Amino acid sequence: MKKLLLFVALCLSFTAFSQTLSVEEAVMERWTTFYPENLSQLQWVKGTDNYAFAKDNQLKIYNMRGRIVGAITLEQINKHPDLKLESLPRFKFSSSNTAEFSSTGKKYTVDVKSGKVASAGEKGKPMANEEKASNGNTAFTKENNVFVNTPGKVTQVTDHPEGIVAGQAIARYEFGIGKGLFWSPNGERLAFYEKDERNVTEYPLVDMNATPAELNAIRYPMAGSSSEHAACGVYDVRSDKTVYLNVNGGVRDDSYYITNLAWTPDNQSVIAAIVNRDQNVSRVVKFNASTGEVDRVLFTESDDKYIEPEQPVMFIPDGSGDFIWFSERDGFNNIYRYGADGKLRGRTEATFPITELVTFSPKGKFAVVHAHGPNPTETHAYRVDLVTMQMSKITTQAGTHRVMVSGSGKFIIDSWSSVDTPRKIELKSMSGKASRVLLDAADPMADRSVGKTELLTIKAKDGTDLHSRLITPPNMDMNKKYPVVVYVYNGPHVQLVTNSYMAGAPLWMHSLAGDGYIVFTVDGRGSANRGKDFEQAVFRQLGNQEMEDQLAGVNYLKSLRFVDSERMAVHGWSFGGFMTTSLMLRQPGTFKVGVAGGPVIDWTLYEVMYTERYMDTPKQNPEGFEESNLTNYVSNLEGDLLMIHGTIDDVVVMQHNMRFLKACVDEGVQVDFFVYPGHPHNVRGKDRVHLMTKVIDYIKANL
């Protein structure tokens, strides 16, 4: 009897272990059940070398020896008469001994030593685009105007009619623009973006949930058409006056972009990168914040294809007035040190892209940055000596690293993962020597049957290295042949293949692999983090080079004995939808099935800022636009193609798919089409389960 029970237990254990992942689990539990363990609220205590993280309703503070030197508990928080919380709130250290948090519309502070909780005033109702200054002033927007909240007073800064929008991101979030309000360091002046969209065509989006359906018109500038007129205002809180930067001799038109705003440390000047509409010249200009007039052009960059500044100047905290600037003018994104007069002092010489400034050391002697190299699939931390501009690598383990630097600049917390490491968090010296492992997360997929994930380097037609990811079924039989799904994006600013947990693959791929499919992805030319030449190879001919590199991936797959080259499918979204449709129509017969979500079909219908950077205007590059227009190739279709779109997509408007479907009708070509009512460019939430089920079921049914 005991042997029988043991046998049953072993069988049950094996069954549980070998269970594959369902599509619903893969979508809905990706960031919970199947996300590697992390340390909640992990942070350095401001200005110190102590660190803190939350566990069991306590935020514990540790010194470098790992000893607890302070704590904030839920019990302490709830001693305040206004607070009866069930779980620990989120804290942020405002000093070495003070943490802040918000609850029920109020702000509170905690004295770490005494544990005393004090009310810090009303939090107030969240305002749109709220931006807080160092001195407590607050700026926000209401509808299309800017307001400033100072103690006891709310001031309306702008009073614009419909069509002029102030205080919000402009240029449709291109050029690294993510907000529209910028406080000076002392909080006494506010710079803000402004855009006049009255000359931009209104584009109709229809809300089908209303009865009757309602029209929501947005301003959407399409390639080659009239675009927004950009401006930048500076409001002085003390004088209650606003001036505008004199960007173009006082003439506001759509011939330029205002990007990468930054304040000088003395609060007297605003620095911005002014980019021409052709996006091949950028002038970094210093403006007088009191008058709005040009102080000086610090330097100019140009490129024969395009230029794309994405980060503002960042001043070195050494009192010199020098600043750093990110540029890929010499092939890879490097750091350039400039003096306040605009003279170049030095530069790093990385042969891979430096992507982010983590922080400066307290006295500005060095900086810590993240960079994609020397292996492009990995992210590492580097120390940059700001005098010699020499770089030294801090992180050593192969993988994707993100670091935080302590108050003294002597230590880092390194959180990293790789294909084989779900997550590891380590305390290290600035030299990279590990002193303590804070977390070594278990694999959350350990009890599921998951196939093998490999990072590969294949060769393009001309010998260029292309990084790829291959996911094979669990318990694969090397003597069998398996169908393949190629997931594609291959567009600007996106890298899909990384040496991180699961190699960066969404879990639906592992669910599909569990059903006996191979899933493959290659980052071809045009995709991110490989340097200027790799990224600019697609200039004026979107789709051409990308298809060639995807076909290199197909040829690699066909060389594998376990691949069924007669049963191959391709799927992608957005630019990946464009690539999916391109491959199905311009390389007919390569794939038996395609599923294209939110695809660009005709680049004349896509937004000015993005399209003109990579394609120029339709007038400047008529051949390129005509060659990439996928309605020209519908008669070539072989196999089954499903097109998907959200009905209120304001990024790739549904007119793309409507034009494509009309061309199919005109040519007598049958395709499948599905819409997601009420969804914008991406389908999120529980409806994403429906989406991925739709995609996978379509591939299985037709492959």
pLDDT digits (tens, 9 = 90+) for 617-627: 999 999 999 99
Residue 122 pLDDT: 59
Confidence of residue 124 (pLDDT cuts 50, 70, 90): low
Predicted TM-score (pTM) above 0.85: yes
- DSSP alpha helix (H) spans, 330-477: none
Confidence of residue 3 (pLDDT cuts 50, 70, 90): very low
Tell me if 112 sits within 8 A of 72, measured CB to CB: yes
What is the architecture, at CATH level 2, of domain 453-702? 3-Layer(aba) Sandwich (3.40)
Domain ranges of the chain: 40-122, 127-311, 453-702
Average pLDDT over residues 501-510: 97
Residue 314 and residue 360: Cα distance in Å, rounded?
10
Confidence of residue 435 (pLDDT cuts 50, 70, 90): confident
Residue 170 and residue 150: Cα distance in Å, rounded?
25
Query: Above 80 in pLDDT, residue 11?
Result: no
Residue 527 and residue 523: Cα distance in Å, rounded?
6
| Residues paired with residue 486 on neighbouring β-strands, in sequence order | 520, 570
For residue 310, the one-letter residue type is: E
Query: Above 70 in pLDDT, residue 264?
Result: yes
Query: Above 50 in pLDDT, residue 667?
Result: yes
| Residue 492 preceded by cis peptide, ω within 30 | no
Would residue 649 show up in a list of annotated catalytic residues for this protein?
A: yes
pLDDT digits (tens, 9 = 90+) for 449-461: 999 999 999 999 9
Confidence of residue 318 (pLDDT cuts 50, 70, 90): very high
Would residue 574 show up in a list of annotated catalytic residues for this protein?
A: yes
Residue 121 pLDDT: 65
Average pLDDT over residues 246-257: 95
Query: Percentage of the chain surpassing pLDDT 90?
Result: 93
Exposure of 356 by Cβ count < 10 A (0-12 exposed, 13-18 middle, 19+ buried)? middle
| DSSP code, position 57 | T
pLDDT digits (tens, 9 = 90+) for 154-170: 999 999 999 999 999 99
The two domains 127-311 and 453-702 share their CATH topology (first three levels equal): no
Q: Which of 2.40.30.10, 3.40.50.300, 2.140.10.30, 3.40.50.2300 is the CATH number of 127-311?
A: 2.140.10.30
pLDDT digits (tens, 9 = 90+) for 649-663: 999 999 999 999 999
Residue 642 and residue 648: Cα distance in Å, rounded?
19
pLDDT digits (tens, 9 = 90+) for 13-60: 443 445 889 999 999 999 999 999 999 999 999 999 999 999 999 999
Query: Above 90 in pLDDT, residue 335?
Result: yes
Average pLDDT over residues 331-336: 98
CA dihedral 387, 391, 396, 402 (to 10 degrees): 80
| Residue 161 preceded by cis peptide, ω within 30 | no
Query: Above 70 in pLDDT, residue 81?
Result: yes
Residue 432 pLDDT: 87
Written as six digits, the tokens of 35 are: 């996300």
Residue 106 pLDDT: 85
Q: Which of 226, 681, 687, 690 is catalytic?
A: 681
Q: Which residues have CB under 8 Å from 309's CB, separation 6+?
A: 175, 176, 259, 260, 273, 275, 282, 284, 301, 326, 327
Residue 171 pLDDT: 97
HEC string for 289-341: CCCCCEEEEEEEEECCCCCCCCCCCEECCCCCCCEEEEECCCCCCEEEEECCC
| Residues paired with residue 206 on neighbouring β-strands, in sequence order | 215
Residue 209 pLDDT: 86
CA dihedral 636, 638, 642, 646 (to 10 degrees): -20
CA dihedral 507, 510, 515, 518 (to 10 degrees): 130
Q: Which of 184, 649, 656, 679 is catalytic?
A: 649
Average pLDDT over residues 272-289: 98
Query: Percentage of the chain surpassing pLDDT 70?
Result: 97
Average pLDDT over residues 138-144: 96
The CA radius of gyration of the chain, in Å to the nearest whole number, is 27
Tell me if 275 sits within 8 A of 282, measured CB to CB: yes
Residue 1 pLDDT: 45
Per-residue burial over 246-270, b = 16 or more CB atoms within 10 Å of its CB, e = otherwise: bbeeeebebebbbbbbbbbbeeebb
Exposure of 161 by Cβ count < 10 A (0-12 exposed, 13-18 middle, 19+ buried)? exposed
Closest by CA to 272, choosing from 290, 299, 253, 249, is: 299
pLDDT digits (tens, 9 = 90+) for 202-214: 999 999 888 999 9
pLDDT digits (tens, 9 = 90+) for 445-497: 999 999 999 999 999 999 999 999 999 999 999 999 999 999 999 999 999 99
Would residue 697 show up in a list of annotated catalytic residues for this protein?
A: no
Whole-angstrom CA distances from 38 to 84, 273, 412, 425 are 26, 38, 17, 8
| Residues paired with residue 164 on neighbouring β-strands, in sequence order | 196
Average pLDDT over residues 401-415: 97
Tell me if 511 sits within 8 A of 25, measured CB to CB: yes
Whole-angstrom CA distances from 651 to 205, 298, 602 are 11, 35, 13
Q: How many CB atoms lie within 10 A of CB 374?
A: 11
pLDDT digits (tens, 9 = 90+) for 515-569: 999 999 999 999 999 999 999 999 999 999 999 999 999 999 999 999 999 999 9
Residue 550 and residue 486: Cα distance in Å, rounded?
9
Q: Which of 269, 418, 500, 574 is catalytic?
A: 574
H/E segment holding residue 665: helix 655-667
Residue 263 and residue 396: Cα distance in Å, rounded?
36
Average pLDDT over residues 595-608: 98
H/E segment holding residue 261: strand 256-263
CA dihedral 614, 494, 326, 179 (to 10 degrees): 90
